[in-house]
Structure 1
Amino acid sequence: MKNIFNELEQENITYAVCVSLIKSTFDSGISQREYYIIANKKDVAGRYGFTAGSDSGYRNVYEKDLSDSERFTFLETMDRYTKVLNNKHGRVYELKGESFKSNYNKNKQVNKKVTKPKGKQLDIIDLFKSIW
């Protein structure tokens, strides 16, 4: 049976699994966890149930809440992932050998527009200035 993880991996889409910790405002001892996947907009927009992240601050990052069965699948296969962030707000996991952050930053660099200044010939070094 295919699941969201298999489908993304089959299409070579890099993603990360996030676990947000939400503390109750009424009782400081109670917290809830939300599990969701983040991926690059260009890879998942309009597919697999991904939508624009409402409060992420990253316009090219889309997210999808995990269903109970998807969350269970993730928890069963956690040995395939590396924890890359762990703080009071939650955790982020990436597939071993597939860094979502590196992939996202690489795509962000490639998508920067390089414009030719007026009256100046564009040199190959000018193309790489925005990356270096």
Structure 2
Amino acid sequence: MKKILILLPVFIFEICSAQKAKAEKVKDKFESRQSQDMSVPPPPMIAFPAQYPKGNKAFLENVKKNLDKAALQSLGKNLKTKIILKINSDGNVLNISTYGNNETFNNEVKKAAETATGNIIWEAGKNNKGEKVIDIVNLPFQYSNS
């Protein structure tokens, strides 16, 4: 009987301490996803995102037209990337980036996007008050070799 009375508190202690360890791990995971510098404000809410003059679909079609198809022949059939453009409040393209698995494809799409945006002024993004603001445009791009 004494053994049971001694083992019961030890068993309960083990269960409680095991659950605390799991709770700390969840807390650590949550904190690791949070931004580290809490003094940085969140980006402004864009009510009306920036757009290419004839629409973002027209921009993607122009990118596809400007691609060097000969350079893409050896890369495979279905190629994907994301085109990220930073548009200032005047509608000028400040920066173009591409993110995908194939670096050669990313570089070709970036060149084509730079050509497609040439001297074109975009419709600037607007916030809830209707003021023009800097906006980030994120467009998925796919290309398949035929």
TM-score normalised by the chain length of structure 1? 0.28
More strand by share: 1
**Higher RCO, Cα 8 Å, sep 6+:** 2
Larger Rg: 2
